[in-house]
Amino acid sequence: MRHRVKGYQAGDLEAKYATLGVEEDFFVNYGFVTRDLYALMHPRVVTSERSVVVEKHGAALLDFVRERGAAHPRDVDAHFAHGSTTNAWGGKSSLSTHLLDGMHYRGMLRVAKRERGIRVYALSQLEPNGKDVRDVDATLDQMMDVLLNKYAPLPQKSLRPLLARLHYATPQWRVRLSAAIARVGTRVAQTKIDGVTWFWPEGAQTQSEALDVVRLLTPFDPVVWDRTRFELLWGWAYRFEAYTPAPKRQLGYYALPMLWRDQVVGWANVSIQDGKLQVQTGYASGSAPKGRKFKSRLDEECDRMSAFLSLSAKS
């Protein structure tokens, strides 16, 4: 898998988002999806406490957004004075933000852009899907294929939990998910290695030659995200410890897995201190891979990371 975007600089996604043909949304996690995938999931039908709030205030807010073309949560709050509500973590947050988020999730609004990291909303142009059962099943199969293409090869232990997360993407079709997951076993390639059954899409291409490249991966990179697969492939446990109390951390606050060729050989904690890059590394084997080539490639990656962090601090 390659996940680096050539030429990308910090802030590019926010600056160019409106021209990229992508949407911010929740699939199996929150992020950016193609507009084709976005259309498959919507409009969502949701029954919850949040839906009651949307029904109560939604029409007026839609009119407000329609008149302005796009609305910042600050402007919505100033106009409606919705007050505050209890958020998912038990604290208080703006009811306007909560309402906008709920309407976005339902497909009534879309994220038009961001201003200093804050989502600015516009009306969605989605049409009701009106799918019958056969269409729903085909759509679920299509979305599961997207997941398999992103995360495969997947061990059997990981396959069902990942696919089951589609209930976030399509709560309206939750009752159809189990049957769709069962179909995956009959539609995709699979084999058993050392007692573990692995699944991947039919016709998936593989890269047989491991390149002499070092990459520092985010904790949420598709290579890393499935911790079960990670341990099966590389024989050691990686854990995201940002929310772990400092004395109990083994790898570090935001340890980045280190991919060398086709092996995740360790991790690095990277930060900018007094304008200079600081790198602390650790290795699964207890020591770095031997040879100058690894060190030179790691230095290159650290230079790239330094430039990225410097730009991020300025943006």
Tens digits of residue pLDDT in 133-156: 679 999 999 999 999 999 999 999
Low-confidence winner among 27-31, 185-189, 205-209, 255-259 (lowest mean pLDDT): 205-209
Can you spell out the DSSP letters for 49-118? HHHHHHHHHHHHHHHHHHHHSSB-HHHHHHHH---EEE-TTSSEEEHHHHHHHHHHHTTSEEEEEEETTE
pTM score, whole prediction: 0.82
pLDDT of residue 89: 44
For helices 227-234 and 156-164, the axis angle rounded to 10 degrees is 160
**Interatomic CA distance for residues 73 and 81, integer angstroms:** 11
Query: 3 pLDDT exceeds 50?
Result: no
Query: 2 pLDDT exceeds 50?
Result: no
The pLDDT tens digits for 182-241 are 999 899 999 999 999 999 988 776 666 788 999 999 999 999 999 999 999 999 999 999
For residue 119, name the pLDDT band (cuts at 50, 70, 90). Answer: very high
Average pLDDT, rounded, for the chain: 86
